[in-house]
A and B are shown apart, each in its own frame.
Chain A
Amino acid sequence: MLAGTLALPLLSALVPAAASAAEGAAVPARDGVALSVFFGVIALALGVTWWTGKKASTTLAFYTPGRSVGPGRVGLALAGDYMSAASFLGIAGLVASEGYDGILYATGFLAGWPALMLLLAEPLRNLGKFTVADVVAYRLRRAPVRIASAVGGVATLLFYAVGQLVAAGDLVHLMTGTPYAWAELLVGGAMLLYVLVGGALATTWVQITKAVLLLAGVALLGLLVLLQVGPPLELYTRVAARYGTAALAPGALARNPLDAISLGLALGMGLLGLPHILLRFYTLTDAKAARTSALWATGLIGSFYLVIPAVGFGAAVFVPGGRAAILAVDPGGNMAAPLLALHLGGAPLLGFIAAVAFATILAVVAGLTQAAASAVSHDVYLGVLRAGRAPQESQQRVGQLAATAFSALAVGLSVLFRGQNVAFLVGLAFAIAASANFPALLLSIVWRRFSTAGAVASIATGTALSVGMIVGGEAVWVRILGHAQPLVGLANPCIVSMPAAFAAAILVSLAAPDPEAQERFDAEQLRTYLGVGGDEAGRR
């Protein structure tokens, strides 16, 4: 039923007709120099990926940085996993178009890191093997937990990918003038090719390249803004002079306090349920390396999110036409940073920034596709349907099918979500992550009486509530389905869906206990806190 209602706007978006001709006028770029820099930098980034991919061909080498790589570099790779072009473009856009409210995203996206470190980093390092389900199901019945956890994981990854793809579509549309829906198909095709042919996407070096490119791009823009304004505080004076002091204080968020709290919760806790980040902790050599690397990552990500608001304010002040011009190019404001680049550094800088953003989006979505594919092929197909035994080729085929289906779904959704701010969309993905994955993960590590039924109930409740409330909320019900009023008043569902997932976990675990799992908790604790036992105890 839902698929039917969504298919109509999807089809109409793919028919170019009048829409693209009308909006062509608003796009300022399409310049030969910008385009050659754009494609040149993308080709270079893909070349690095391909080259490093050839060097690390085994699955083990995939994620495992190995002992030869120091914690600083692993930290860069972790930062590369996490920092996304969508958060860069989205936050800069929000700050440019709405002012202060965008800053909450920057702060929230960092605040998850200490929480991750304090609650999950070492247990993940000590318990994890391939997927999030490994940890949740450590002492529970494998099959039901794996299925539930694959569903929760894929839902999270899908929404996260949609946020990234909307940004990529906007970029390609801005740079080449290709109608948005076709740009999405193009990006989706490129990402699928990258996954199916490239293979080694999550290699440490790809993520390091990505982190360096993004940090350099953001730092460069921040520096250019500073050079323009002189003393840093002058930037705020100019913002206040042009848009009033309201731009430097909470606006829409303060009008809906519950929404602000819900968003803050999602941003702060979502990281603790993001499969593609959690997986990297499995590969670190010891707990000390895990902590030091995560500290490096926190520092790098912190500086990234400190500079982005300045880029956003810079765009509001320096892009000719200001907010109105930025919103005319894209109603989500997502193109604020590229437009600022065009104004401060001309066509070459626009080409560079757009290429950095695009190449990093490609790397992120490819990684997301891969994580989703392995949840399906490893957890569901191999673990449940084939009871742990399946030839490598058939497992690979299932993975490829899953990757294709995931890309198609992500592209379709990103066409529908056009014109929405991508940091906002990533915030929705964080709400799913914080509700579907995080409660079950945490309780499986700390609570002896956590049971299989409790885990399944928690993941099912968290996934269904968060996704359902997003569909009934402003983002889908009003902006995509065209209803006048949302069914759900909250723009971000986290404040309802995360506590509900915890409650379901606790109530169902108490109602349907799992005595065997309680007995195995001792062995799990040894592994959680000391990194020994467990494996040797014949569990796996």
Chain B
Amino acid sequence: MDEPRASRTAARSHELVRSPEFRRLVARRWTVALGLLALLSVAYFGFVLLVAFAPVLLARPFAGALTLGVALSIAVIGAAYLLTAGYVSWANGAHDREVSALRSRWRG
């Protein structure tokens, strides 16, 4: 690729990346992702901390001989799946529409 074209491309990417629309897209993407990550951490690392520090609580019966600990481990797996599903439905909908709008702006 010749030099002037490469530097034109660089200037264009610089401009698009600094545009408010792009900044907003990136900011929103990370707000959603980090928010969901925080929920995941509460569920999973909360569970891990209970295993480490509250074995007595987890040994309490939940239903019959099934302990709270076993029930919680199942709940964490369920929560992880639901979080993933929530992210996918947001990203494949609203987020993807914004991405394709910006993409067509890049292609001009």
Q: Which residues of A contact B (CB under 8 A)?
A: 100, 103-104, 106-108, 110-111, 113-115, 117-119, 122, 233, 236-237, 239-241, 245-246, 248-251, 253-254, 257-258, 260-261, 264-265, 268, 287-288, 291-292, 294-295, 298-299, 302, 305-306, 309, 522-523, 525-526, 529-533, 536-538
Q: Is B67 a contact of A245 with CB atoms below 8 Å?
A: yes
Main secondary structure, interface of B, reads helix
Within 8 A of A (CB), among B65-90: 65-67, 69-70, 73-74, 76-78, 80-81, 83-85, 87-88
Q: Is B106 a contact of A291 with CB atoms below 8 Å?
A: no
Contact A531 B87, CB 8 Å, known A249-B55, A291-B92: no
Q: Is B69 a contact of A248 with CB atoms below 8 Å?
A: yes
Q: Is B37 a contact of A119 with CB atoms below 8 Å?
A: yes
Q: Is A261 a contact of B49 with CB atoms below 8 Å?
A: yes
Contact A525 B87, CB 8 Å, known A107-B47, A111-B76, A233-B66: no
Q: How far is the CA of A249 from the CA of B57 in the complex (A)?
A: 9
Q: Is B94 an interface residue (CB 8 A)?
A: no
Chain B residues with CB below 8 A from A118, complex form? 33-34, 36-37, 40, 87
CB of B23, distance to nearest CB on chain A (Å)? 10
Give the residue name and chain of the B residue nearest to A257 (CB): B52
Q: How far is the CA of A254 from the CA of B55 in the complex (A)?
A: 6
Q: Is B69 a contact of A536 with CB atoms below 8 Å?
A: no
Closest 9 CB pairs of A and B: A249-B59, A264-B48, A257-B52, A254-B55, A538-B1, A260-B52, A236-B65, A250-B55, A237-B65
Q: Is B53 a contact of A257 with CB atoms below 8 Å?
A: yes
Q: Is B87 a contact of A114 with CB atoms below 8 Å?
A: yes
Q: Is B17 a contact of A114 with CB atoms below 8 Å?
A: no
Q: Is A250 a contact of B88 with CB atoms below 8 Å?
A: no
Chain B residues with CB below 8 A from A122, complex form? 91
Q: How far is the CA of A309 from the CA of B66 in the complex (A)?
A: 13
Within 8 A of A (CB), among B1-60: 1, 5-6, 9-10, 13-14, 16-18, 22, 25-26, 29, 33-34, 36-37, 40, 44-45, 47-49, 51-53, 55-56, 58-59
Q: Is B65 a contact of A533 with CB atoms below 8 Å?
A: no
Q: Which residue of A103, A115, A245, A292 is within 8 Å of B59 (Cβ)? A: A245
Q: Is A538 a contact of B83 with CB atoms below 8 Å?
A: no
Q: How far is the CA of A241 from the CA of B81 in the complex (A)?
A: 33
The size of the chain B interface, using a CB distance under 8 A, is 59
Question: Which of B81, B92, B107 has most chain A Cβ within 10 Å?
Answer: B81
Chain A residues with CB below 8 A from B53, complex form? 254, 257
Q: How far is the CA of A113 from the CA of B36 in the complex (A)?
A: 13
CB of A538, distance to nearest CB on chain B (Å)? 4
Q: Is A236 a contact of B99 with CB atoms below 8 Å?
A: no
Chain A residues with CB below 8 A from B1, complex form? 538
Q: How far is the CA of A536 from the CA of B84 in the complex (A)?
A: 32
Q: Which residue of A107, A265, A295, A536 is within 8 Å of B77 (Cβ)? A: A107
Q: Is B88 a contact of A114 with CB atoms below 8 Å?
A: no
Chain A residues with CB below 8 A from B5, complex form? 538
Q: How far is the CA of A241 from the CA of B74 in the complex (A)?
A: 22
Beyond the given A107-B44, A248-B67, could you list 17 further A-B residue pairs with CB under 8 A, ordered by the A residue number? A110-B81, A117-B84, A118-B36, A236-B64, A260-B52, A261-B48, A264-B48, A268-B48, A288-B96, A298-B84, A299-B81, A309-B70, A526-B17, A531-B99, A531-B103, A532-B103, A538-B5
Chain B residues with CB below 8 A from A530, complex form? 99, 102-103, 106
Chain B residues with CB below 8 A from A260, complex form? 48, 51-52
CB of B9, distance to nearest CB on chain A (Å)? 5
Q: Is A537 a contact of B107 with CB atoms below 8 Å?
A: no
Chain B residues with CB below 8 A from A306, complex form? 74, 77
Contact A117 B88, CB 8 Å, known A250-B58, A254-B52: yes
Chain A residues with CB below 8 A from B22, complex form? 525, 529
CB of A352, distance to nearest CB on chain B (Å)? 26
Q: Is B37 a contact of A115 with CB atoms below 8 Å?
A: yes
Q: How far is the CA of A288 from the CA of B84 in the complex (A)?
A: 13
